[in-house]
Every structure is written in C-alpha cells, then in structure tokens.
Structure 1
C-alpha cells in the first residue's frame, strides 16, 4: 500500500472518525466522510488490479508424443522462441489496446503426461519475449525423454490448456489454445467432447500442423485439424511443410491472433503472409 493509501486508511480508522465527528457538525461530518471516500477511491491501486490485463492470453500446446524425434522437438522449440521474439510480432503486441499478451507453453503426449515449460508470462516488450524464448529453448523437450507409452492425446492437451486459461489471473480480450502437432488424436477422452467444453467457455482453438511422415510417405493433416480440432471465433489451422518454414508459419499465426484480438490486422498480417518460397494460407473450419 502506498503512502497516500496508508494515510487515508488512518484517517478512516474508528478513532480518527470519532475525532472528525467531534470536530465538525453533522452536515460537515457527512461532507468530510464523502471527501475521504472519494480520496480513498483515487488512492486505490487501480494499476495493480488490472496489471494482468492483456489483448490475448495464449497457451502454446506442443506435441511431445513418441512421433516427435529430436529434430522435430528442436523445430517446435526454436520455432516458437524465434517467432515470439521477432520485431514485427513485438510491434503487433505493442500496438494492441493493452500493449501486452500473456503466454504459457506446455508439452503433451498421453493423458497425465502434460507438463508446463513456461508458466503464464506477460509479454509487453522485446525483453519479455527474449526471456520467455530462453525458457522455451532451455526447458522444452529434446525429443529423447519419452520413457513410457507416449501417444497423441490432443483432447488432453485441450483439457489441460483450458484449465490454464480458466486460471489466468487477469482480463484478456481473447483466450486462445495453440495446438502444434504432427498426428491425430489416438488416446484420452473423445476429442469432440474436449473441444466442445472449451468452446462453451468462449475460448478459441487454433493449430499449426506438421505433416506426418511414415515409411517415407507424407500425410497432410490440415483437413483433419480443420474439421476436428479448431473452433471458436476466427479460429484457423495453418500447415508448415517442415523445418524450413515452421517459424514463418508460426509468425503469421501469431500476428493473426494478436491483431485479431486488438483490432484491424491488415498492417501486420500482410507483412507475414509470404516468404520467398511459399505462402501460408489459413484454413478455417467449414460452416454446416
């Protein structure tokens, strides 16, 4: 509590109120009481009450199942760390209504195997993003520590992320779950039930999809994620072709989410749409 608040609190104590009532008549006493009340309102720490308000609260939910080898694990770690701290992303964050976002980073596989790599962290400037990026790079999965059955439970990833969004201490214009995965749901509760529970809360589920490679054949999963995973206002899925463009795809996704939460997105999204070798179209869930 600041000095002004302590001083006013003392004035409003029982003994102080008694001294005021003795010193002034009833009419003046009422006026003094109202003045003290208004001064207390002014002195209250409004900044602290709203210190956690952000334009978007985003949970990065990262696939750490058995299909994620060391190369893909590094791809996800470095991709998120790099995209989060890019100057254009920081500029988009700063231009928002609150000028900040909040991010958390979890890794998941089968139910009960999810872990938090980066707890809720407020990103308002490049310095904040660099700190978060360092935690992601140093504490994220290396793709070599799946000691038991590690399946792909997207449903559990959504449930865990939903719990984190529920617990976020502060206001957020939008609350988003970002799934990064290279497989379909094959463990845990039914995906549609987890998805519906999350959407009922008003949260958004987006996804960045890494094509699945098995016995030399590439299986594209964008349609699966579009129809079965994403949901909510403005939700979308985006596919990366692999290591060369994963960070670029993430960058566009971040810009779309941040700009979508804080207002018109054209200024920043246009700059992220194309790279020298490809574009990153957003795939939205079809309306029925």
Structure 2
C-alpha cells in the first residue's frame, strides 16, 4: 500500500503536433525535475516524506499509454529509478503518424481514473497536464474537469507555447480559464521552450509544498482516497 503525502499523475501530450524537440523537453524535463535537489528537498520536508507518481502519454480519444505506473518516491534513489523509466520509455516524437488530435478531456479522464485506482492513501491528488495545444478532439473539457474536481482532485497545467502562438490568445490563458480546477489549482506559463524544465520544477515544489505548509501549521486534514 502506497501511503504518500501527494499522488501526482503526469499527463503528457504525445499527439501528432509533438515533434522530437518538444517530446525531449517533456521527457527530459520530467525526469530532471524528479531528481532535482528542490524536489527531493520538498519531498523530505513533508509529513510522510514520500510522494506517488504515475506518468502516461495521451493524444486523441482512446490513445493513451502508461509509461510509469504508480511508483512511490521517498528519496533520491527512488527518484532516479523513476526518472530512468521516463527517459528510456517516454515518447521521442519521431513516430507521429496516427497519433491524432489533442483531447485534453480524455487526458483528464484517464488521469482521474488513475487517481481512482491509486493503491494507497494520499493527502492530495493531482493531475498535471502538459500540452502544446487546446482541446480539439473528443468531448468538451468542462464535464471531465468537473468530474475530477467533484472527486476532490486538483488539475494543474503547464503550457508549451506553439511556435506561432497568438500573443492575444496564449495557451496558458486557455489552460487557466478552461482546464485547471480544484483546490489551489494553477497553470504555468513559459517564457520560452528552454524554461520548461525550470517551470516544471517550480510547479512540483508548489504542489508538494502545499502539504508542508499544512503540516507545519498543525492543521489536520482528512485522507483523500478518491472513492
């Protein structure tokens, strides 16, 4: 049984718009973030000193694959093992045919299902969406978003700006308005592609650190088993 402070599902876009450069940003960014001193420190400062992590890739409806099943990370060695799986098994972006569109709604549904099936207890449960596009396949986002929120899950997002992004309609604004939700939800906006890994570290520190604040303030919280 995986008792952890936070259970985080990394929902990573591997639709046909994800080229090798963007795929590398996501794969290496997540692997590097998990093993960074900031994240290891945030994990160890928490109440139990462990987090649960799963990593899956998604595109259109019905196209999703689990890269890293639920894994308990309680220190650097655990993090290195999880990062190695992501690096070796994550999408490279070289085979893009048949990937289809971008179904953010399906990504939330799959992430929510993984949290439903988390094999243990977690004080918080989070779906982390990483994508370079808006929902353009499958059902609208709102019902999936609301379903996850109703279960007590938080949806956060990190936007990868497309090369020709409309400055009047940035992707991060779409995520903030239409995708994120739940307790203390937020979207991360990048200043450029090179900012992805640093932004991901900042996001994870915030997600993990929210429990630290609660713990240090002596506030009692119910375990969220997700159903």
Same fold (TM over 0.5): yes
1:165 aligns with 2:127: no
CA apart distance, 1:62: 0.4
What does residue 199 of structure 1 align with? 149
Q: 2:70 aligns with which of 117, 120, 125?
A: 120
Alignment CA distance shift 1:107-1:265 (3 Å): farther
What does residue 107 of structure 1 align with? 57
What does residue 173 of structure 2 align with? 223
What does residue 183 of structure 1 align with? 133
1:57 aligns with 2:7: yes
CA apart distance, 1:241: 2.9
CA distance in 1, matches of 2:33, 2:114: 22
Larger helix share, 1 or 2: 1
CA apart distance, 1:149: 4.8
What does residue 161 of structure 2 align with? 211
What does residue 145 of structure 1 align with? 95
1:256 aligns with 2:206: yes
Q: Normalising to structure 1: TM-score of the pair?
A: 0.72
In structure 2, runs of 5+ residues without a counterpart are: 217-227
SS, match of residue 145 in structure 2: helix
SS, match of residue 193 in structure 2: coil
CA distance in 2, matches of 1:237, 1:265: 24
Q: How does 1:82-97 map to 2 (within 5 A)?
A: 82-97=32-47
What does residue 80 of structure 1 align with? 30
CA apart distance, 1:52: 1.2
- TM-align CA RMSD: 1.7
Q: Deviations over 1:143-181 (max 9, x none)?
A: 122231510000000000000000001110000000001
Aligned residues: 215
Which structure's relative contact order is higher, taking Cα pairs within 8 Å and 6+ residues apart? 2
SS, match of residue 98 in structure 1: coil
CA distance in 2, matches of 1:85, 1:227: 31
CA apart distance, 1:242: 3.3
CA distance in 2, matches of 1:188, 1:62: 17
CA apart distance, 1:204: 0.2
Alignment CA distance shift 1:259-1:265 (3 Å): farther
Contact 1:210 1:241 in 2 (8 A): no
Q: Normalising to structure 2: TM-score of the pair?
A: 0.90
What does residue 238 of structure 1 align with? 188
